[in-house]
A and B are shown apart, each in its own frame.
Chain A
Amino acid sequence: MKSAKEPVDAQTPNAAWTVMNNLIAGILLYGGVGFLIGYFLGNTSVGLAVGAIFGIVASTYLIFFRLRALDGGHNTQREA
Chain B
Amino acid sequence: MLGAVVPMAEIEPGCHLGNDFGCGFPAPDASIFEIEPYFGSFTKPVFLLLLGSLIIIIFFLAAFRNSKLIPGKLQSVGEMGYLFIRDGISREVIGKDGDRFVPLLFTLFFFVWIGNLWGIIPGAQFPVNSRFAFPVGLAITVWLIYMYLGMRHQGPIKFFTNMMFPPGMPKAIYVILAPIELISNVIVRPVTLSIRLFANMFAGHLLLTVFTVATFYLASLSLVGILGSATSFLMTIIFTAFEALIQALQAYIFTLLTAVYIAGSLHAEH
Residues of A whose CB lies within 8 Å of any CB of B are 1, 3-4, 6-7, 9-11, 13-14, 17-18, 20-22, 24-26, 28-29, 55, 58-59, 61-62, 65-66, 69, 74, 76-77, 79
Among all A-B residue pairs, the 3 with the closest Cβ atoms: A25-B184, A3-B91, A25-B183
Which residues on A sit within 8 Å (CB–CB) of B267?
Answer: 76-77
Q: CB-defined interface of B169-211 with A at 8 Å, one 1/0 digit per residue?
A: 1000100110111011101110110001000000000000000
B12 within 8 A of A: no
Q: Are B92 and A17 in contact (CB under 8 A)?
A: no
Q: How far is the CB of B253 from chain A (nearest CB, A)?
A: 6
B270 within 8 A of A: yes
Q: Are A65 and B169 in contact (CB under 8 A)?
A: yes
Residues of B whose CB lies within 8 Å of any CB of A are 83, 87-89, 91-96, 166, 168-169, 173, 176-177, 179-181, 183-185, 187-189, 191-192, 196, 253, 256-257, 260, 263, 267, 269-270
Q: Are A79 and B187 in contact (CB under 8 A)?
A: no
Q: Are B192 and A24 in contact (CB under 8 A)?
A: yes
Which residues on B sit within 8 Å (CB–CB) of A66?
Answer: 166
Q: How many A-B residue pairs have CB under 8 A?
A: 84
Which residues on A sit within 8 Å (CB–CB) of B187?
Answer: 25
Q: Are A20 and B180 in contact (CB under 8 A)?
A: no
> Known: A3-B87, A24-B184, A25-B183. Contact between A14 and B177, CB under 8 A?
no
**A9 closest partner in B (C-beta):** B92
Q: Are A74 and B192 in contact (CB under 8 A)?
A: no
Q: Are B93 and A22 in contact (CB under 8 A)?
A: no
Which residues on A sit within 8 Å (CB–CB) of B188?
Answer: 21, 24-25, 28
Q: How far is the CB of B212 from chain A (nearest CB, A)?
A: 31
Which of B180, B192, B269 interacts with A29 by CB under 8 Å?
Answer: B180
Q: Are B256 and A3 in contact (CB under 8 A)?
A: no
Which of B173, B257, B269 interacts with A17 by CB under 8 Å?
Answer: B257
